[in-house]
Amino acid sequence: MPSVRVTLWNEYVHERTNPDVARIYPEGIHSALKEALLRHGNVEVRTATLAEPEHGLTEEVLRQTDVLTWWGHAAHDDVRDDIIARVHARVLEGMGLIVLHSGHWSKLFKRVMGTSCALCWREAGERERVWVVDPGHPIANGVDHCIELEQSEMYGEPFGIPTPDDIVFISWFQGGEVFRGGCTWRRGSGRVFYFSPGHESYPIYHNPQIQRVIANAVQWAAPQGRAANTPRNTPVESALEPIIARGPSVHDAHGTLTR
């Protein structure tokens, strides 16, 4: 089984501007995730950040990426639209995408979902329990009945997402809310996983169970089949059953739409 080529994308702003965050992730959230993934194995990991040319997401990098993870919060609007379009296209071709925490509000996630991706929130350092509701799912493999996070940001319903294909985790919050915090979708040939824990004020990505979920998700999201997103004209003479064209047309002899 070949190792999965992962690119960890991080906005990398709060780790450099907010001393509390810097203390938890001195080298950035991406570096903490990189270490964690390498420990779980069967991956090759590179990182990319907002400040790099093309945000570190060149055509070349994306072509060599099986699974992309996305963390952003303070600078969603600074991400270039053309790079988003490029990443989106690669997802449809089959690249896996794992969107983390405040990445729910990124241009990329909204575009891939086609919905608001809005939610309720409260930053109070309250207790969260991430419950496994689908124990047979590979992303929940090796995870306890629930992951307890002593301090977390509350994300609450209603969450403006399309019906997920699978809901793997649902979170409980001390202040009284619930949240569908671990969901999957298919987009084109690409697999998408959203995972809500990971507020930068708390050391959530140092939690071994959280790391395990992300490592599982990386394996799950790796491409499985082939891409199929090109519109194709199938000429009459190559129809599988013999047919004869009849009736009027809005296309010319070359199949081009006339106007």
Looking at residues 36 to 95 of the shown chain, list those that interact with a copy of itself (rule: CB under 8 A): 73-75, 88, 92, 94
The piece of 30-38, 55-63, 126-134, 205-213 that touches a copy of itself (CB under 8 A) is 126-134
Task: Return d(Cα 37, Cα 35) in angstroms, integer.
Answer: 6
Please, which residue, 46 or 93, has the CB nearer to a copy of itself? 93
Task: Return d(Cα 155, Cα 140) in angstroms, integer.
Answer: 20
Contact between 2 and a copy of itself per CB under 8 A: no
Least distance in angstroms from the C-beta of 110 to a copy of itself: 9
Helices (H), 99-229: 107-113, 208-221
- Which of positions 207-236 make contact with a copy of itself (CB under 8 A)? 223-236
Task: Return d(Cα 161, Cα 117) in angstroms, integer.
Answer: 5
Q: Give the helix/strand (H/E) hosting 85.
A: helix 81-93
Contact between 26 and a copy of itself per CB under 8 A: no
Contact between 101 and a copy of itself per CB under 8 A: no
| Tokens representing residue 239 in the block | 């129809």
Please, which residue, 46 or 204, has the CB nearer to a copy of itself? 204
CB 111 within 8 A of CB 84: yes
CA trace torsion 232, 253, 239, 227 (10° rounding) = -10
Please, which residue, 42 or 46, has the CB nearer to a copy of itself? 42
Contact between 115 and a copy of itself per CB under 8 A: yes
Q: Of these, 157, 206, 208, 256, which contacts a copy of itself (CB under 8 A)?
A: 157
Contact between 144 and a copy of itself per CB under 8 A: no
| Tokens representing residue 4 in the block | 């999965």
Task: Return d(Cα 182, Cα 167) in angstroms, integer.
Answer: 6
List the x/- string, 169-188, binding to a copy of itself by CB under 8 A. Answer: -xxxxxxxxx-x----xxxx
Please, which residue, 46 or 212, has the CB nearer to a copy of itself? 212
Contact between 166 and a copy of itself per CB under 8 A: yes
Residue 168: count other Cβ atoms within 10 Å of its Cβ: 28
Q: Give the helix/strand (H/E) hosting 22.
A: helix 19-24
Q: Which of 74, 59, 162 is nearest to 111 (CA)?
A: 162
Least distance in angstroms from the C-beta of 237 to a copy of itself: 10
Q: Which of 186, 188, 145, 196 is nearest to 166 (CA)?
A: 186
The piece of 46-54, 57-65, 79-87, 139-147 that touches a copy of itself (CB under 8 A) is 139-147
Least distance in angstroms from the C-beta of 182 to a copy of itself: 12
Please, which residue, 59 or 123, has the CB nearer to a copy of itself? 123
